[in-house]
Amino acid sequence: MKIFNAHLAKEFFEGIKTFKFLIIGISFLIFAIMEPIMYKLLPYMLEGEGIDPALLEMMDTTQQGLLRNYMGSLTQIGMIIVTLGLMSIMANEIQKKQLILPISKGVKIKNVVLSKFLLYSIVLCLVINICFMVNVFYTGILFGTSDLAIAEILMSGSLFSLYFIFALSLLIFLISLTKKGVAGAIATLVITFILIPLLANFSDLVKFLPQNLISQAGLFELSMSNDLFITLISTVVMIGLFVFGTIKRVENMEIA
């Protein structure tokens, strides 16, 4: 346990030194603040452009509506930021043979992989939930709406965070396969942007896909449906398989 904690601390300071935490945090926070601000300014920006005022009044400026829009931004731009920002967390160790020294001192590969995965999973979860709160707070101030409870925000944020944690596990697994950060990042984006959405078109498969977490997060419901339960189980299983696969792949690399 001491060795694992030591690696966790090492990754924490490495994340600070390389600005990974800062990049993810600031990027997500900017979108959280700008989303309601842009919607507030939109009528003034479009004034005089011949836009029917009735169309502007149809915009959903509730806390739920703008938080859903924010989720849409994070699903696309946020995923790119996370994938490209974290593509080096396993690639450096593999490409630059940085695992040789810790292994020679008796450190197990699983401690290295798990410390990276756990740390960035916690960071993503904290950042997303905090930014959800900020987005809802600013929407309430700018539009005077209040239709979300803290419990609903946290439930939504937790589901959305799990989707990003799934993407993180997929990323480190693909990097271990390709041995290159860029290749692993591109493959992750192809799977999350193209393959999974395509599979989601089949209604029988939706409940087994992590993509369903995004849809369920946008419902802001505290109760758990059968479909959501299945999605949670399948996503956790996939995360476990990707992390386990990464450990075994890197171990075999070192043995070879």
The DSSP string of 221-248 is -SS--HHHHHHHHHHHHHHHHHHHHHHH
Please check whether residue 33 is in contact with residue 134, taking contact to mean a CB–CB distance below 8 angstroms.
yes
CA distance 111 to 4: 5
Q: What is the pLDDT of residues 190-239, one digit of tens each?
A: 999 999 999 999 989 999 999 999 999 999 999 999 999 999 999 999 99
Which pLDDT band holds residue 94 (cuts at 50, 70, 90)?
confident
pLDDT digits (tens, 9 = 90+) for 119-141: 999 999 999 999 999 999 999 99
Q: State the pTM of this model.
A: 0.93
CA–CA dist 49, 85 (Å, integer): 39
Residue 57's pLDDT is what?
67
pLDDT tops 90 at residue 170: yes
4-13, 93-102, 199-208 — which one is most confidently predicted on average? 199-208
Cβ atoms 138, 37 nearer than 8 A:
yes
Per the prediction, the chain carries an average pLDDT of 89
Asked whether residue 156 carries a pLDDT value surpassing 50, the answer given is yes
Whether residue 242 is predicted with pLDDT greater than 70 in this model: the reply is yes
In the prediction, which pLDDT does 2 show? 76
Which pLDDT score is estimated for 144? 86
Q: How many CB atoms lie within 10 A of CB 240?
A: 11
Count Cβ atoms within 10 A of the Cβ of residue 191 and give its class: 0-12 exposed, 13-18 middle, 19 or more buried: middle
Return the pLDDT at 253.
Answer: 76
Confidence check: pLDDT of 104 > 90: no
pLDDT, residue 84, reads 94
Q: Which of 217, 249, 245 is nearest to 148 (CA)?
A: 217
Cα dist from 241 to 91, 177, 237, whole Å: 19, 14, 6
CA dist., res. 113 & res. 191, Å (int): 22
* Whether the predicted pLDDT of 143 surpasses 60: yes
